[in-house]
Amino acid sequence: MSKRFLLLALIVSHLSAGTLLAQSSFGEKPKLVVGIVVDQMRWDYLDRYYQQFGDKGFRRLIGEGYSCNNCLINYLPTVTSIGHTSVYTGTTPALHGICGNNFYIDGKKTYCTSDKTTETVGSKSDKGQMSPRNLLSTTIGDQLRMHTDFRSKVVGVSYKDRAAILPAGRSANAAFWLDTKNLCFVTSTYYMNELPQYVKDVNKALSKNKEVKAVGDSIGFTPLCGTVTTDMAIAALKGEQLGRGETTDMLCVSYSQTDVIGHQWGTRGPRTDAAYLTLDRDLGRLLDALDEQVGKGNYLVFLTADHAAAHNYKYMVDHKMNGGKWNSQQLRLDMEAAVSREMHSARSVIADIIDYRVFLDHQSIKEQGLDLNKVKDCLVAFLRTSPNVHFAADFEKISQASMPPLIRERALMGYHPRRSGDLIIVVEPGYYEFGKWSSPVGTTHGEWNPYDAHIPLLFYGWKVPHGATSREVHITDIAATVCQLLHIQQPNACVGEAITEITK
């Protein structure tokens, strides 16, 4: 046999083996997928706390899993409801329609998961009048349920209603969140008419927990909130027998105390330190429970964040760096005055400013006989001269706006024509909305900058290689990657791409 023929035979044999290996992966699936979102977690926290972490939580995920060290959010604004939705849908507000925690739908202000057609299950408050009905696209869980003819179970758990509901998707079996007034987990009649016994048991334990009683409805401001969330997640894992059936199940867990604490006390200090070190221990408990319930190597985990956060502006200024507070309410008054001077408006033309977006009052503008486009041009011209405003644009004209392509693209990816308002404002680096969601020593988020848009992304468990990459990936790539591993179709508005370092 000639050397050339032998080499060719070896190549063919290698390719055939590779083909067989790839083919054999079809039908192989993890028993359970666990999605974990840490609200307001900056990517650099992985390094900041690494030496203080124990061996069972973050270090286990990093040491045995795969870290995408350059995961960015590719839309504006960077806020909680959008982040959670984009992780699980693989798309952005332009297509999934969740355009903020609060936004307008055809002129009516709406909370992202509010649904007055439902009732609370688990307490007598209105905290359960929620559902995912405002979500326009499918999620990983929805695709998994359809792929298995709805035999797979999908459950969401969080302190925040939106962080439990939106990740789980429209066809989820259940979502549970905390009613802080009554200190119990609740759900909605969208899912069921009575709490399962395991949730009742968790609530009974909460009612007897002295630490929980001591903090009361301020539980979100304490690391204890994460511990309680973990208790509920483990209870759902066992109560629903997730990962024990014939099809792959999914558990969506979101930790929200990190966001509440960050808004109140910022990115530095003992309270934030305690939040992440306690979370590390809670993650260890959750992973141990997964090992016990499903078996190590039989489940797939990803951990990420819905957004990150800026450093407190006083902290920045104290260290001779740029930063400051930006007050949208004062700006709104100044914008109204500008329109009044230029166009002689007699009434307000602005309905709201939310997450650096201006929602105009179209009805008022029409009733006053004003030209909508001229009103927008007037406001954009004024904003461009406003202190600490870097860029401003009319969403409908943003493709011609004078701003960096990266920012323009992220603004477009966040723009839904009936839900995102009329104008977008981009403030200078280090500046952020002050007073609405942050205390004087706290912080917030919402803009394009790395401090808001650079988030952790860790994969661990079933078929996940050990390693790391600094290649740029996006929050929208998570759903595409998980669906590729499961060999199921991507969510129906997914724009992300599978991360090949994980799926190969």
- Torsion 263-269-273-275 (CA) sign: negative
Q: Alpha-carbon distance 136 to 132, whole Å?
A: 9
Residue 150 has a CB neighbour count (10 Å cut-off) of 14
Q: Which of 19, 78, 80, 138 is catalytic?
A: 80
Q: Report d(CA 68, CA 129) in Å as an integer.
A: 37
Whole-angstrom Cα distance, residue 235 to residue 194? Answer: 16
**How does DSSP classify residue 446?**
-
Phi and psi angles of residue 488, each rounded to the nearest 5 degrees, phi first = -120, 160
| 80 counts as catalytic | yes
Contact status, residue 278 vs residue 56, Cβ threshold 8 Å: no
Environment class of 470 (CB within 10 Å of its CB; exposed 0-12, middle 13-18, buried 19+):
exposed
Q: Count the alpha carbons within 13 Å of 389 in the hemisphere toward its beta carbon.
A: 21
SS (H, E, C) 375-427: HHHHHHHHHCCCCCEEEEEEHHHHHHCCCCHHHHHHHHHCCCCCCCCCEEEEE
Burial class (CB in 10 A: 0-12, 13-18, 19+), 55: exposed
> Which residues in 64-91 are b (16+ Cβ under 10 Å) and which e?
ebbbbbebbbbbbbbbbbbbbbbbbbbb
Residues that are catalytic = 80
